[in-house]
Amino acid sequence: MKPSSVIICFVISLSLIFNFRNHNSHTHGKVPLKAIITGADSIYPAIHVMVALCDNKYQGIVPVPPKIGNGQDVNSNLYWGCGFGVRSYFKKSADWQFIKTLKPGNKILERLVFKHRTKNTYLVADAYDGQFIKDCTLDFLRACSGQLKDTICLKEKTLGILGHSKLITYTGHDGLMDFELSDQFANTDGKKRDCIILACYSKHYFGPHIKQTLANPLVWTTGLMCPETYTLHDAITGYLNKETKEQIRTRAALAYHKFQKCGEKAARNLLVSGW
């Protein structure tokens, strides 16, 4: 890493510490990092994929085989290390180049960074320990509202994640079927982000909170679903191609039908866009 990049990372880290210490203040999440690092590289928004690992013990799901339902094991988890999990699927994708693995620790067991092979776009995927599904849900909604922001220093790039991202996605069990949130998710910075929520009945359960964030739901669901990664992968392809919401939703539905054999009409009824 060049000396200038080290300085950038250091300054950004200081600003994030300041934000954290003022978490309960009305200015949290509004600190203009570009103003703090004037003259430095700007923050480069990455697509942020947030995954609550499948967990038989800590989530209200119909139990899956123990090996793939261990929410503390990234390597075998249904939504991460299995063949159609986020880590495995994106690593095998011809569209994406794997860059590196990070270990943030605490509730995030693994973080992966990918770069699109033909577009100047990065994707950051986080695997949340399954027992912290509520934290994952809260972080997702706070990111959609701009309340929670973070960065990753990657060589000469400073990647923006959470609220710095323009597209934020959630994959996993719909924890809102099991617990309620009293938190408020009012948008704090006037920016309208796109989101994808692949979880059962996500439009119904996430809807009231997403309205507060002002985020734009590109794809979410009206019923029970299996949130494997082919649906997300193909929806993101449409997003990067600057397709309409309907075209993105169609890509997602066709991918779901292809792997689930549920019928195209059923997949379109399940995966919807907007309000």
Please indicate, yes or no, if residue 170 is contained in any of the structural domains: yes
Mean local confidence (pLDDT), 116-129: 97
Question: In 3D, which of 19, 5, 1 has the Cα closest to residue 164?
Answer: 19
pLDDT for residue 11 is more than 70: no
Q: Model confidence at 27, in pLDDT bands (50, 70, 90)?
A: very low
Q: What's the number of domains the chain is made of?
A: 1
The beta-strand segments (E) located in the chain are 43-45, 47-52, 96-102, 108-116, 122-128, 149-154, 157-162, 167-171, 194-198, 216-221, 271-272
Please indicate, yes or no, if residue 16 is contained in any of the structural domains: no
pLDDT for residue 23 is more than 90: no
Looking at residue 42, its pLDDT comes to 83
pLDDT for residue 38 is more than 60: no
- Interval 143-188: pLDDT, tens: 999 999 999 998 878 999 999 999 999 999 999 999 999 999 999 9
Mean local confidence (pLDDT), 244-253: 98
Domain range for 126: 42-225
Please indicate, yes or no, if residue 255 is contained in any of the structural domains: no
In three-state form (DSSP H/G/I as H, E/B as E, the rest C), the secondary structure along 198-254 is: ECCCHHHHHHHHHHHHCCEEEEEECCCCCCCHHHHHHHHHHHHCCCCHHHHHHHHHH
Looking at residue 155, its pLDDT comes to 82
Looking at residue 246, its pLDDT comes to 97
- Interval 62-82: pLDDT, tens: 999 999 999 999 999 999 999
Name the average pLDDT for the chain: 88
Please indicate, yes or no, if residue 11 is contained in any of the structural domains: no
Looking at residue 165, its pLDDT comes to 98
Please indicate, yes or no, if residue 182 is contained in any of the structural domains: yes
Please indicate, yes or no, if residue 157 is contained in any of the structural domains: yes
pLDDT for residue 59 is more than 70: yes
Contact yes or no for 54/68 (Cβ under 8 A): yes
Please indicate, yes or no, if residue 79 is contained in any of the structural domains: yes
Looking at residue 8, its pLDDT comes to 39
Please indicate, yes or no, if residue 273 is contained in any of the structural domains: no
Looking at residue 26, its pLDDT comes to 34
Lowest mean pLDDT among 8-12, 118-122, 162-166: 8-12
